[in-house]
Amino acid sequence: MFETLGKKLNGVFRTLSGQGKLTESNIRDAMREVRMALLEADVNYKVVKDFVARVTQESLGAEVLESIKPSEHIIGLVHRELINLLGGEVAPFALKPGQMNVILLLGLQGSGKTTFAGKLAMFWKKQGWRPLLVACDIHRPAAIKQLHVVGQGVGVPTFDMGTDKTPSEITRNAIELAKREDKNLVIVDTAGRLHIDEVRMDELEALKSSAKPTFTFLVSDAMTGQDAVNSASRFNEAIGIDGVCLTKLDGDARGGAALSIREVTGRPIYYVGVGEKSDDLEVFYPDRMASRILGMGDIVTLFEKAQETFDEEQAMEMAKKIKRQSFTLSDFLDQMQQVRKMGPLKKIMGMLPGVGQMLEGQDIDEKEFGRVEAIIQSMTPAERNDPTILNGNRKKRIADGSGTTPQAVNALLTQFEQAKKLMKMLSGGAVPGMPGIPGMPAPKSSSGSNYQKPKKRKEKPKRHHRR
């Protein structure tokens, strides 16, 4: 997400850092590039204009121009303004305890409302709430069946009354049922609109008036850019919304909708869909998203994902093994499989500060996981516990059994040793299993990158050691 915008902004910052001294002229040149980057990202024109004006004004202050590292000051200013643009210090969305919560989902057709309803239900089910999905899309063919399928997928019941009743009647009956069955969260999936100017909004107005929802969310497709912003404005004017939920943000390399909606509508973004799975839903934090855009990583979200994935006792035992130097290839495989549960590897690695820039233009081979798994599972228990016994014949047998080559076996063993060293160094606070992950390309060195390849990690000594 935001890949194109992030690359362009980091290119501007690299140019600034190469300047011996910042002047009003090169600052304005840089801000012109920032302006173009934001416009190309499909950010609202007025939003871009105001954003660049604020950053330019502060960049020309004496504190920045006379500082030792003025480019870092400007990066800090851009970071701060991006946070404000994305919503500033927005309190995370929370349901109201001790009462029935009704969430009304609105949106255009194709925005992903029905799928999002399931993700939201699963999200709050994990928090201990008891949700009920309500099918109020009485116009789209198979919409009711689709919601039932989504509900079954996340283990949440779905209520419908067919297509003969009005959405208001359906919702009223659903709330009554929820009270009888001790549910405390009702999520209403409404009919999508082809275009907000082409349909009557009275159905939604009547539904909102009748159901008196606790929260009304607009579900928008992030990839539609300014169309998402315009529909948010119109829905807010016609019906009134409490917040926006962006779907398909993982496929949006530009980010125009996310960067414009709060400024244009005055309504915050609360959730973002970042994948196709039922648990691919994230709470939207402006500060974390701004850091991701600028390649600063998102270590907080990474640790939250790790806490959801890794068993605490298992992680503690693994840390002890690392310190005792008893970390085996079986443990390595277990850690690797746990990391896979956290999501696509490039997405996970991009949350580490600086790594996103290192991975620019590089592909991470997710299939490498399968090859590594096959190699380790082709070993005997003794070989997994003590790889030093692996001679040429053993390696050939393992390669044949895994459908790989002896060279691939050697590469894994080298990677395993590197992982053990790195994990021992970082065991005090690192996410378990993150270093030395198969498929991770070697970091590229670049004069414009803040990353410097450690001198100790040279290839020649390693090749000599393997011989």
* Phi, psi torsion values for 100, nearest 5 degrees: -75, 125
Query: In whole angstroms, what is the distance from residue 149 CA to residue 170 CA?
Result: 19
Of the three residues 265, 296, 327, the one that is the final residue of a domain is 296
Quick one: 161 and 34 in the same domain? no
As a whole number, the mean pLDDT across the chain is 78
Quick one: 157 and 278 in the same domain? yes
296, pLDDT greater than 80? no
Lowest mean pLDDT among 48-57, 72-81, 233-242: 72-81
Q: Which residues are bridge partners to 105 per DSSP?
A: 189, 217
57: its two tokens: 């004004």
Q: What is the pLDDT of residues 438-458, one digit of tens each?
A: 444 443 333 333 333 333 344
Residues 6+ apart with CB under 8 A from 393: none
Query: In whole angstroms, what is the distance from residue 190 CA to residue 383 CA?
Result: 58
Residue 168's pLDDT is what? 93
Identify the helix (H) or strand (E) that includes residue 289.
helix 286-293
Which domain does 454 fall in, by range? 310-466
Quick one: 139 and 210 in the same domain? yes
Residues in the chain: 467
- How large is the average pLDDT for residues 292-309? 61
404-428 b/e with 16+ CB inside 10 Å = b? Answer: bebebbebbbebbeebbebbbeebe
Of the three residues 296, 324, 353, the one that is the final residue of a domain is 296
Lowest mean pLDDT among 2-6, 117-121, 165-169: 2-6
- How large is the average pLDDT for residues 372-388? 90
| DSSP labels, 390-401 | --HHHHHHHHHH
333: its two tokens: 């495989």
Residue 416's pLDDT is what? 83
Contact 213, 104 (CB under 8 A): yes
Query: In whole angstroms, what is the distance from residue 249 CA to residue 268 CA?
Result: 15
193, pLDDT greater than 80? no
Inside any domain, residue 339: yes
Residue 244's pLDDT is what? 92
Quick one: 288 and 318 in the same domain? no
E-assigned strands of 7-60? none
- Per-residue three-class SS string for 200-255: CCHHHHHHHHHHCCCEEEEEEEHHHCHHHHHHHHHHHHHCCCCEEEEECHHHCCCC
Quick one: 343 and 321 in the same domain? yes
Inside any domain, residue 461: yes
- How large is the average pLDDT for residues 356-367? 55
Cα–Cα distance list, 386 to 36, 178, 327, 331, 425 (Å): 56, 58, 10, 12, 21
Quick one: 163 and 275 in the same domain? yes
- How large is the average pLDDT for residues 397-410? 91
Quick one: 107 and 244 in the same domain? yes
* Phi, psi torsion values for 159, nearest 5 degrees: -110, 135
369, pLDDT greater than 80? no
Residue 431's pLDDT is what? 44
Quick one: 191 and 277 in the same domain? yes
Q: How many CB atoms lie within 10 A of CB 447?
A: 7
460, pLDDT greater than 80? no
CATH number, domain with residue 76: 1.20.120.140
Q: What is the pLDDT of residues 165-175, one digit of tens each?
A: 999 999 999 99
Label residue 152 by pLDDT band (50, 70, 90): very high
CATH number, domain with residue 356: 1.10.260.30
Q: What is the pLDDT of residues 7-39, one digit of tens each?
A: 888 888 888 777 767 778 888 888 999 999 899
The proportion of the chain whose per-residue pLDDT surpasses 70, expressed as a percent, equals 73
Query: In whole angstroms, what is the distance from residue 351 CA to residue 430 CA?
Result: 13
Residue 63's pLDDT is what? 67
Domain count, the chain: 3
The reported pTM is 0.67
182, pLDDT greater than 90? yes
- How large is the average pLDDT for residues 131-136? 96
Instruction: Please identify which residue in the block is written with the tokens 């011996």.
Output: 20
Query: In whole angstroms, what is the distance from residue 154 CA to residue 164 CA?
Result: 27
130: its two tokens: 């008891």
Quick one: 456 and 388 in the same domain? yes
Q: What is the pLDDT of residues 307-340, one digit of tens each?
A: 565 566 666 665 666 666 677 888 888 777 777 6
Burial of 46 (0-12, 13-18, 19+ CB in 10 A): exposed
Inside any domain, residue 239: yes
